Amino acid sequence: MIIEAHDLRKTFHAKRGRGKKEEVEAVRGIDLQVERGEVFAVLGPNGAGKTTTVRMLATFTLPTSGSARVAGFDVAREAAKVRENIGYVSQAGGVDDTAPGIESLLLAARISGMSRRQAQARADELLAAFSLTEIANRPAKTLSGGQKRRFAIAVGLVNAPPLIFLDEPTTGLDPQNRANLWDEVRKLREQGTSVLLTTHYLDEADALCDRLVIVDHGRIVARGTPEELKKEVAGDVVTLRLEDTDGARQLLDAQPYVKEVRAEPGVVRAYLDDGEHGLMHMLRTLEENGLGIRSVSLERATLDDVFLKHTGRSLRDAA
Amino acid sequence: MTRHTMLFLGYELRKLFANPVWPLFGIMQPVLYLVFFAPLLRSTVPGGKMTDVLAMFTPGSMMMIALFGSMFAGFGMINETRNGMLERLAVSQAWRPAIILGRLVKDVIVLVLQAILVIGIAALMGLRIGLPEMLLVLLLMAATGLFAASLSYGLALTLRDENGMSQLVQFFAMPLTLIAGLFLPVSLGPQWLQTLAKFNPLYYAVEAGRSLFRGDLSAETIPVAFALFAALTALTLVWSVRSLRNLAG
């Protein structure tokens, strides 16, 4: 087990005006177990407490209560040992804009205890691995977002840690760079590095991780592999657009092959295991009862449906 | 600990050498004062000799860069509180005080080099100063700069706002320099100003500088100034390192 967290909590005390204090419970009791070699995702909307959780695990912030062991060491009492065994890439990246990227890389290598020569060798290795050799000596502020992000991850990996934290690694990247970064993360797993990443992108968690937790308002609302979680909802989703949503919901709820129905104004979503067959029945039933539909679509259930099931709202709206 | 401080120092110096023009702008102000303002002061010293004017004015202009230059040292760090650099360093294996100490040593090195240039220009204009006195002046200036720079890092890490910080620095720097008699000794002024100046640490630094430039090593302001700035530096340094810890909330 590379990460074991029990009932982690973090409360911030923010000052609001004169004498007034506001308590913000960013994290309200998080339990995590991450296996060695696993890519583990923390999925949730903005403000769910993902970054705070990662910051506690990476020893940046002390938990208000609860405990966590990372790479076998306690984050509060043995922070120095934890730091030897992790890489941490924050959302902002942390590459010095005012210097060439190679400088950030070399400094990080030297801080982790390498000699000048070892640092140079490790830097060259990482530059090559992340296709950064050609732009190594360019001032970091002239680099694109994707290039900067690759530098940030290279810096995080400088001490070849068994575990790396990636906080929102693809936020703000274009689709091409996102796909490239996913490949990098997969390569890390092949090399045996454990990865804990946070994201608010469903497809990212779905595509990359072995297991995930879904967090909302500082709590875990679901955990498992992407397949387990989606199966929990249903295999497929049929989305119907029509006028009489209440009527349609009552009607579909009564059908044995439909597992669950959710209605919003103008839209009804029905969850069922075998969408291809169920859809035909569904359309016939609706027609027999005189419910006209404007459009229909059939999709595989996504993690958004899981989020919807547990929180009552869509991840897209929650952000 | 020393190793990490040296690493950060080396990193900062490499950055500086990659772009060495900025510190030159920093010394323009005292040099301009020396060239264009000092001659106006000839009527204020008995005899009106330029050598005496320079002995009185040069320490003030040096303290000006020690204070003004260093008070803005923390500016660059405000950005680093946002771009994740300090966050990353805080969870690296770096000894945390080294993050600030490395920068401070760089600031002091730049400051001393600037001061040597200023003394060189003053010497061309006719200033005469002995080597021990000059070394002591540089040391005193380094102490002042160390205090101002660590205060600046503390402010940067606490405020984390460029606008707020520049306002605050201006707000404090102006009265401090006026009440220290940076340009003209406060002894020329009324009693209340002289009394007020006694509460300003910078006053002792400027007066000690003037005594040293006059070759008066026995002046009591010299030990007072060194003791004062050693104590103040210790305080602001501890504060700035603690502010680094508070970054995490």
The shortest C-alpha distance from B240 to chain A (Å) reads 17
Cβ separation B84–A111 shorter than 8 A:
no
Q: Tell me the per-residue pLDDT of B43-64, one tens digit each, with 9 for 90 and over.
A: 877 787 888 889 888 998 888 8
Give the residue, B245 or A59, on which the prediction is more confident. Answer: A59
ipTM of the assembly? 0.88
pLDDT range class, residue B174, cuts 50, 70, 90:
confident
Q: Are residues A218 and A289 in the same domain?
A: no
Direct distance between the N- and C-terminal alpha carbons of chain A, in angstroms, rounded to an integer: 31
Compute how many other C-beta atoms are within 10 angstroms of the C-beta atom of residue B159. Answer: 17
Chain B residue with Cα closest to A55: B248
Least confident interval from A67-81, B49-63, B104-118, B150-164: B49-63
| Rounded-to-10 torsion of CA B201, B160, A108, A196 | 150
Contact across the interface for A94 and B85, Cβ inside 8 Å = yes
Q: Parallel, antiparallel, or unpaired: how do β-strands A194-199 and A163-167 relate?
A: parallel
Judging contacts by C-beta atoms under 8 Å, the chain B residues touching residue A108 are: 88, 92
CA distance A211 to chain B (A): 25
CATH code, domain carrying A168: 3.40.50.300
Altogether, the residues listed in chain B come to a count of: 249
A141 & A276 share domain? no
What residue numbers bound the domain in which B115 lies?
A: 2-246
Residue A217, sorted as left (phi over 0), alpha (psi -120 to 50) or beta, turns out to be left
Residue B93 has its nearest CB partner, among A62, A84, A91, at A84
Residue A316 contacts residue A304 (beta carbons within 8 Å): yes
Model confidence at A319: pLDDT above 60: no
Most confident of A14-18, A248-252, B238-242: B238-242
Residues found in chain A: 319
Indicate whether A120 and A142 sit together in one domain.
Answer: yes
CB contact under 8 A, B249 and A61: yes
> For B64-88, what is each residue's pLDDT tens digit?
888 888 888 998 899 999 889 999 9
> B122-140 burial, b if ≥16 CB within 10 A, otherwise e?
beebebebeeebbebbbeb
Q: Is residue A45 predicted with pLDDT exceeding 70?
A: yes
Q: What is the CA radius of gyration of chain B?
A: 19
In SS3 terms, A229-242 reads as: HHHHHCCEEEEEEE
Q: How far apart are CA B34 and CA B20, in angstroms?
A: 23
Tell me if B11 and A107 make a contact (CB, 8 A cut-off).
yes
What DSSP string describes B23-55?
A: HHHHHHHHHHIIIIIGGGGGGGSTT--HHHHHH
**Same domain (yes/no): A79, A148:** yes
Which residues does chain A have within 8 Å of residue B83's beta carbon, measured at their own beta carbons? 92-97
Q: Is the pLDDT of residue A90 over 90?
A: yes
Our separate counts of H helices and E strands in chain B read 12, 0
Q: Is residue A13 part of a domain?
A: yes
Which helix (H) or strand (E) segment is A164 a member of?
strand A163-167
What radius of gyration, in Å, describes the C-alpha atoms of chain A?
Answer: 23
pTM, to two decimals: 0.88
Question: What is the residue type of A134?
Answer: E
Residue A179 lies in a domain: yes
Residue A30 within any structural domain of the chain: yes
Residue type, position A114, single letter: M
Residue A291 maps to a domain: yes
Contact with chain B for residue A58, Cβ under 8 A: yes
| Residue of A90, A104, A138, A149 best to disrupt the B interface, most CBs of B under 10 A | A90
| A239 & A171 share domain | no
Same domain, yes or no: A144 and A280: no
How many domains does one find in chain A? 2
**What stretch of H or E contains B113?**
helix B96-124
- Indicate whether A33 belongs to any domain: yes
A308 within some domain: no
> Are residues A159 and B93, on separate chains, in Cβ contact within 8 Å?
yes
Q: Which of B73, B76, B227, B206 is nearest to B146 (CA)?
A: B73
pLDDT score, position A309: 83
Mind telling me how many Å the CA of B113 is from chain A's nearest CA? 23
Asked if A103 reaches chain B (Cβ–Cβ under 8 Å), the answer is yes
Distance (Å) from the C-alpha of residue A301 to the closest C-alpha of chain B? Answer: 36
CA distance A261 to A251: 10
Contact B134, B97 (CB under 8 A): no
My answer on whether A7 and A44 are in the same domain is yes
- pLDDT at residue A138 is higher than 70: yes
The total number of structural domains in chain B stands at 1
Pair (A109, A134) in one structural domain: yes
CB-CB under 8 Å, B84 with A91:
yes
Q: Could you give the CA distance from residue B128 to residue B212 in angstroms, rounded to a whole number?
A: 11
pLDDT of A166 reads 96
Q: Tokens for A188, please give them.
A: 């890390």
Question: Closest residue of B to A91, CA-based?
Answer: B84
CATH of the domain at A256: 3.30.70.920
* A99 and A244 in a common domain: no
Going across the sheet that includes A39-43, the strands are A86-89, A163-167, A194-199, A39-43, A211-216, A219-224
Query: For residue A286, what are the domain limits?
Result: 235-300
What are the beta bridge partners of residue A237?
A: A271, A299
**Would you place residue A186 in the very low, low, confident or very high pLDDT band (cuts 50, 70, 90)?**
very high
In a domain, A239, yes or no: yes
Helices (H), A191-302: 202-208, 226-233, 245-253, 275-288
**Distance (Å) from the C-alpha of residue A142 to the closest C-alpha of chain B?**
15
The verdict on a CB contact (< 8 Å) between B18 and A108 is no
In a domain, A265, yes or no: yes
Per-residue pLDDT, averaged over B152-159, amounts to 93
Please say if the pLDDT value at position A67 is more than 90. Answer: yes
CB contact (8 A) between residue A111 and residue B76? no
E strand or H helix at A258: strand A258-264
Same domain, A135 and A265: no
Lowest mean pLDDT among A31-35, A188-192, A305-309: A305-309
- Whether A117 and A253 map to the same domain: the answer is no
Co-location of A152 and A293 in the same domain: no
